[in-house]
Structure 1
Amino acid sequence: MKKFMSLITFVIAFTIIAAGCTNKGASNESTGDGKVSLSLFLTMSNEGEKKAIENVVAKFEEENPEINIELNLPGGGYEDMLRVKMAANDMPDLFDTHGWSQLRYGEYVADQKDMDWVQHLDPALDQILKDDSGKVYAFPINQAKDGISYNVNVLEKYGVKPPKTIDEFITALETIKEKSKGDVTPLWIPGGDNWTIGQIFDELATPLVITDEKNSYGDELKDGSFDWSKYTPLAEKIKEMQEKGLINEDVLTAKIQQATELIAQDKIAFTFVAGSLGPDATELNPEVKVGTMPVPAFHEGDKQSWIGGERYTIAISKNTKHPEEARAFIDFISQPENLKIMAEGTSAPDALTNVDAENYFSEYYKQYEDVMVEPYFDRVYLPSGMWDVMATTGQELLADTLTPEQLSGKMGEEYTRLRNQ
């Protein structure tokens, strides 16, 4: 019996060890059929975006049968997964830096400065993707011009023009609620994915405390002396919208996947959901039309802003066992015909000067071409980790567990703590 149990123990131990050896660094190993396997992690979440990258990956694998791409699109779980991988120093071969190419992921990425695509990089992205030494941290699939998406037909039906200020925005929401008799949600927020709440606060913080000359506190945010009570008006405006019934009642449970069907049914007027929302909704209902506009100004006399930088990127892990194959994939996706697929699928402007791709929102980008693109607030002015704080405090505000003043206080506390780490 003891011999039998010893044998069982040995088999179990061997199995665990073997499984551990198999899994460790699996994304960097060759497959059983002799192919090289590369792991690719991206933050894309909308259906159109997923289809676009899947099409490009399929094209690459067809033309490069010796390379297999393991595509991973974990959506809202992306950051948590990458944090675990950073802690274990076991990064994917290829991964999206989603705006943190230098500050968060810089030590994990290989330099791409000698790749062909770099000579065509839009100069607007130089400070984001390059450092003073000339290192290039990631390849930009496209670039972002974030604002607010809206249902063109709904606005026309109720006589509402795209607002230019935050007060005009609230008036527009009130008009839609009144005239639609509650049939249309004025502002729809998928807060069940709390990063979408963080996105709203991140976009609106820029016109609140950066772009207006009399209310510009960028230096104070950078040196740590910012008075966080100046952030309170943003939380007050969001809370005002909720208390007036201008935000969906299920804001804390609604999921981003619902956006496409709801806007296709003309049930949404405005939303901060972007990406492939327009083409995805139009595919469901050819009569619907989704527009996009810059974020409204907060202070009298200020102008609207696009909020942007790179949208999706691909960095190469400095520890990948297959750097040449990884570079081959980036060479492939950086070709104009493939970037056009991505621009159309993501409904975002291309990031290279040798690509002239039309996408679903092109007419709106041209309409607002004189509007300045401001960098994402958290990437320039906040320490790493504050995005999560913006998301959770915003969620607590909408759940009535934080007042606007308490929200600003908590933001200030976490800002100080994270700066001192």
Structure 2
Amino acid sequence: MNKSIFSLSSVTFLLVALTACNSGDNETNGDSNESGSNEGEVTLTFYSTMGEENEIDAFESIFADFEAENPGIKIEGNFPSGSYEDTLRVRMASNDLPDLFDTHGWAKNRYGNYVADLSDMDWADHFDESMEPILKDEDGKVYAFPINQAKDGIMYNATLLEELNIKVPETMDEWIAAMETVRDEAEGDVAPLWIPGNDQFAIGQILDQLSTPLLVTDDDNNYEDELLDGSFDWSNYNLLPEKLLEMQEKDLLNVDALTANDAQRAQLMSQNLIAFTFAGGAFGPDVQELNSEVEIGSMPVPAFFEGDEPSWIGGERHTVAASKDSENLEEAKMFIEFLAQPENAKKIAEATTLPSGLTNVDAENFYAEYYEKWSHIEVQPYFDRVYLPSGMWDVYATTGADLLAGSLTPEQVADVMEEEYQRLRDEGAEETEE
């Protein structure tokens, strides 16, 4: 979901990265003969946004199995984590995309002209219906293989909530009340909402997910048309930064919300020091590995307005697409077909603790109990992917951090969001015309 606004420092980084791409570095070189492989052997470059150890281990296991069945093909796996998007942007600009790569939410809108059509593959008949609009167009082109499908909400300490007799909240007011109970009962020892703000994108994630119930799902507060045509009045966004600031002022956030590191989170939750947090699917298993007596639940994002329902936020999470200009396109498609075999698709979906994107794959899921409990709740697409121009993710992150740092008021946050929204829309329109 991340998007980038190019500052001077990021441009410098990109130039350095571009130099590396053109230097023959084997991480960014799609030509197997130049990457040190034996003559006649094909090396496929593979890039993914996956960063959890168990996810990477699952992929490397599949790489090994594929190579064993196809001795003339090697796979060079790359998992650059936070630098993934900048790396892919550089490679896209130089028309040097990897043979295989994760479209991370942008299969159509960003990478659509760069990826091969996968509609002739056997697995394409087994798309989960919720994935088809995201990865398939009206002409039948299939843009990427869906490893899994996102179903984001809020992770919570189910053990702690049960001990404190707190009902899982369904509205914003109930959620704030629940956090106030945690604060009071734990006498400040437990963070009601824990944010790893050392990475500003964690703050952006919260604001992006909460934008959906604020601006889309409630019938009386639905601004879809205005957001899409550019006429949205950003004063309607004020309530979201106001609520985040209210949480801070009521001591509902960890005191180090702007500096805390994500690496601390599982350990703190395993010690019953966190009640709620926005985290990825691997978080629950990580906590249970540290302390099996702490149960981690997953709940939809609370509704802002009375009469509305909570929302799962999701859609495309991890995928594998093939570069249409790859010199090894046939071999790349062979790997995708191998990955789509039910036993392999099951392995990688379970490693990500998310539902598979295919109907013929029955993957066990750590949060199955909670997904079943909330199965009546509709999955909404990530807000920024549908309603905001490319680049707004960074604005979410920086304005949210500035709000918590006291540098911006909620009204000023909305003003900056409006300015950047219009600027980036205009830039996008100019690029389209060119």
TM over 0.5: yes
Task: Report which of the two structures shows the higher radius of gyration computed on alpha carbons.
Answer: 1
CA spacing shift, 1:184–1:54, aligned 2, 3 Å: farther
1:251-301 Cα deviation digits (max 9, x unpaired) = 222222222222222221111112211112112222221110110000011
Q: Which residues of 2 match residues 341-360 of structure 1 at below 5 A?
A: 341-360=347-366
**2:159 matched residue in structure 1:** 153
Q: Is the 8 A contact 1:309 1:375 kept in 2?
A: yes
Provide the rounded CA distance (Å) in 2 between the counterparts of 1:50 and 1:176.
Answer: 36
Secondary structure of the 1:187 match is: strand
What do residues 386-414 of structure 1 show as CA deviations (whole Å, max 9, x unaligned)? 11111121121122111111111111111
Give the Cα–Cα distance (whole angstroms) in 2 for the partners of residues 277 and 62 of structure 1.
32
Residue in structure 1 matched with residue 431 of structure 2 by the alignment? none
Decide whether aligned partners of structure 1 residues 380 and 21 sit closer, same or farther in structure 2, where only a CA change above 3 A counts.
closer
Report which stretch shifted further, 397-406 or 59-68. 59-68
Aligned-CA RMSD value: 1.7
Matches within 5 A, 1:34-113: 34=39, 35-113=41-119
Runs (5+) with no aligned partner, structure 2: 1-18, 428-434
Q: Which amino acid aligns with 2:178?
A: A
Query: CA offsets per residue over residues 205-227 of structure 1, 9 Å max, x none?
Result: 00001000000000000010000
Paired letter, 2:142: V
Alignment partner of 2:238: what SS? helix
CA contact (8 A) 2:29 2:98 kept: no
CA drift at 1:244 = 1.4
Cα 1:63–1:376 change in 2 (3 A) is same
- 2:32 equivalent in structure 1: 29
Distance, in Å, in 2 between the alignment partners of 1:337 and 1:20 is: 38
Aligned partners of 1:21 and 1:169: how far apart in 2?
A: 52
SS where residue 26 of structure 1 aligns?
coil
1:257-406 counterparts in 2 under 5 A? 257-406=263-412
- For 1:282 and 1:63, locate their aligned partners in 2 and report how far apart those are by CA, in whole Å: 35
CA contact (8 A) 1:76 1:193 kept: no
Query: Could you tell me which amino acid in structure 1 is paired with residue 284 of structure 2?
Result: G
TM-score (norm 2): 0.90
Deviation at 1:200? Answer: 0.8
Runs of 5+ consecutive residues of structure 1 not aligned to the other structure: 1-16
Decide whether the 8 Å contact of 2:156 with 2:275 is kept in 1: yes
Does the 8 Å contact 1:47/1:280 carry over to 2? no
Count matched residues: 404
The aligned residue for residue 198 of structure 1 is 204
Q: Residues of 2 paired with 1:183 and 1:62: CA distance? A: 52
2:161 is aligned with 1:162 = no
Aligned equivalents of 2:285 and 2:83: distance in 1?
Answer: 25
Of 196, 217, 228, which residue of structure 2 is paired with 1:211? 217
Q: For each residue in 1:159-218, what CA deviation from the matched residue of structure 2 results, as whole angstroms up to 9, or x when unmatched?
A: 212100011111111111111122211111112122221111111100001000000000
Distance 1:249 1:388 in 2: 23
Amino acid of the structure 2 residue aligned with 1:410: V
Instruction: Check conservation: 1:166, 1:298, Cα contact below 8 A.
Output: yes
Are the structure 2 counterparts of residues 269 and 21 from structure 1 closer, same or farther at C-alpha, using a change threshold of 3 Å? closer
